[in-house]
Structure 1
């Protein structure tokens, strides 16, 4: 088993990888104590059975530079294969300002190929590679050195079996003509906006039942301060203060440190120093919002007039299409999508791209009374009216 600890060694492997059609990639990281993930290990493999065809890269080794890896990620002649790539891609975008291209996510491809929703790597290893995984090292501390032989074996398996899975799924997508489906699904993964949280928009992630403008102004300012503080100090946002404490502060609107001491939910560390000052300043800024500046929640869905009978028919149609195409129903359309369509909305993901071909076009015809549903034995068919 080869572990690369130098920039030169990494560059040599990446040069070899350029002679292959694809490279499989995985990472091990820690995030419990930081805002940004701490990259602890990178696993890479190219087609082949030789020992040098699958390696571990130690990003914590003294003096190593991951620039050769980032250059490989930019090489469009080599497909970069991940499983459930989102967290891995976030790490590489934040640290290296790069998103691998072209990208192939085996979790997305497996859903398109009928393996169910959010299918796990272990399931694909068992069903496609016909192997089993030892999961005992999954939750170990990957920042500690030296790594144990069990950790190294577990980590390397994440990219060696991935080669078999990728080749199987790529062939299946080509056979069924669904390559474009996967490309559409991966557009979110390859968009830099996916991995950037702007502090001024952080309030939209906080769940609240109150639509008061003054209350939401406080939520917005408190969420923005928390995000800025967490990002600049690289600490988890919940270590600054949790959502329930944020909502309490937005309601009580403290004006002094003494007011903060009366909080039931605020962490002790947040009642003094920079965090306390930031909280009070955020509340003060919110108090100065003009009526036109106050945040407005999106309540459009609450006002929808959903036709329940039509929504039920759309659910039957979705189940029929899911069975016909062997694709997880939730991947084609969510329950929320169906309600939106039944309420007359047309800016819905289920009505665009490959989903329109599979489901959306017939869904619109059903809404317009152009087609109906008929039961034939165990099958539901779409019939023209």
Structure 2
């Protein structure tokens, strides 16, 4: 099993990979103790039927540069194949500002090809290749060295089986004329904006029952400080303070260190130093926020959009019928929020654009306009033109 520990060896492998139409890629990383993922291993495989065309790249070796790999990622003549690519690509985007292009995500492709919603890699391998993956090394600490033979075999299997999965799905997409469906989905993964977490928006992820604009202003400032601090120190945001402590602070509005000391939920480390000062400043900023700048929580989609519940239910039936007929995962075509939006009169939703319009959107609009009806014939739902 080839394990690459020098930049020169990586360059040799990547130059060879450029001679092929695609290369499969996976990573192993840790994120429990850091804000950003720590890359611990990269797995690569060229087309073939054995492990000999694959390799493991150790980025933790001193003096190792991944620039030859990034050059391969920039080579548009070679398709880079991942499964559930988002976290892998985020690592390369954050570390080097590189997004592999062109990109193919087998999880997205499998949803287009009728394998269900967000199917796991193990399941996909079993269904397509009939192989079983040894899961004994799944919870490995990939930062520790040396790696055992079992760990290396497990890691390499993530890209060797992926070759057959890719070739199967790629052919199925081509035969069905759905290649452009997956290409549209890849635009999101190819956008650098997908991998940017903005501290100004961090408050929107905090769950709270209190919707007072002044309270939310303090939540916003506390979440913004926490996100910025965690990014700067490269530590998990919950190591700064957890959501329940954040909500408590927004409610108690501490003015000084003595008030912080009375918090029930705040970590001891957060009651002093930079974090304590940041908390007090954030609370003060939120408390003094001008009325015009106060945030507001969006109302629920049904409340805000005045959804016609009967029409929304009909759209759900239509979606199920249409996706069943073409073998595509329903949630990939239209999540519940899109259906509610359409039922309320909105037309600027993803379900009414691109390939989704072909599959579902066109008939959804006809249903809303009263130009088609739904009927049942046995276990099938039929569309009736009016």
State the Cα distance separating 1:369 from its structure 2 match: 0.4
State the distance in 1 between where 2:157 and 2:50 align: 14
* Structure 1, 149-158 or 297-306: larger mean CA deviation: 297-306
Task: List alignment gaps of at least 5 residues for structure 1.
Answer: none
Equivalent residues of 2:200, 2:224 under 8 A apart: yes
SS in 1 for 2:264: coil
Q: Does 1:136 align with 2:147?
A: no
State the distance in 2 between where 1:353 and 1:245 align: 43
Task: List alignment gaps of at least 5 residues for structure 2.
Answer: none
State the Cα distance separating 1:156 from its structure 2 match: 0.2
State the Cα distance separating 1:300 from its structure 2 match: 6.5
State the Cα distance separating 1:214 from its structure 2 match: 1.1
Q: Output the TM-score relative to the length of structure 1.
A: 0.98
State the distance in 2 between where 1:106 and 1:230 align: 32
State the distance in 2 between where 1:295 and 1:106 align: 39
Q: How does 1:224-239 map to 2 (within 5 A)?
A: 224-239=224-239
Tell me the equivalent position of 2:14: 14
SS in 2 for 1:298: coil
Runs of 4+ in 1 over 3 A off after TM superposition: 49-52
Tell me the equivalent position of 1:333: 334
State the distance in 1 between where 2:335 and 2:221 align: 32
State the Cα distance separating 1:208 from its structure 2 match: 2.3
SS in 1 for 2:147: coil
Deviations 1:195-253 (A, max 9, x none): 11111121122122222221111111111110111011110000000111111111111
Tell me the equivalent position of 2:345: 344
Q: How does 1:1-385 map to 2 (within 5 A)?
A: 1-49=1-49, 52-299=52-299, 301=301, 302-385=303-386
State the distance in 2 between where 1:49 and 1:342 align: 50
State the distance in 1 between where 2:186 and 2:75 align: 18
Deviations 1:334-360 (A, max 9, x none): 222222211212222211111111111
Matched pairs, number: 385
State the Cα distance separating 1:43 from its structure 2 match: 0.2
State the distance in 1 between where 2:137 and 2:228 align: 34
State the distance in 2 between where 1:139 and 1:233 align: 26
State the distance in 2 between where 1:273 and 1:371 align: 65
State the distance in 1 between where 2:184 and 2:140 align: 35
State the distance in 1 between where 2:49 and 2:315 align: 49
State the distance in 2 between where 1:15 and 1:118 align: 33
CA RMSD, Structure 1 to Structure 2 (Å): 1.1
* Structure 1, 180-189 or 137-146: larger mean CA deviation: 180-189
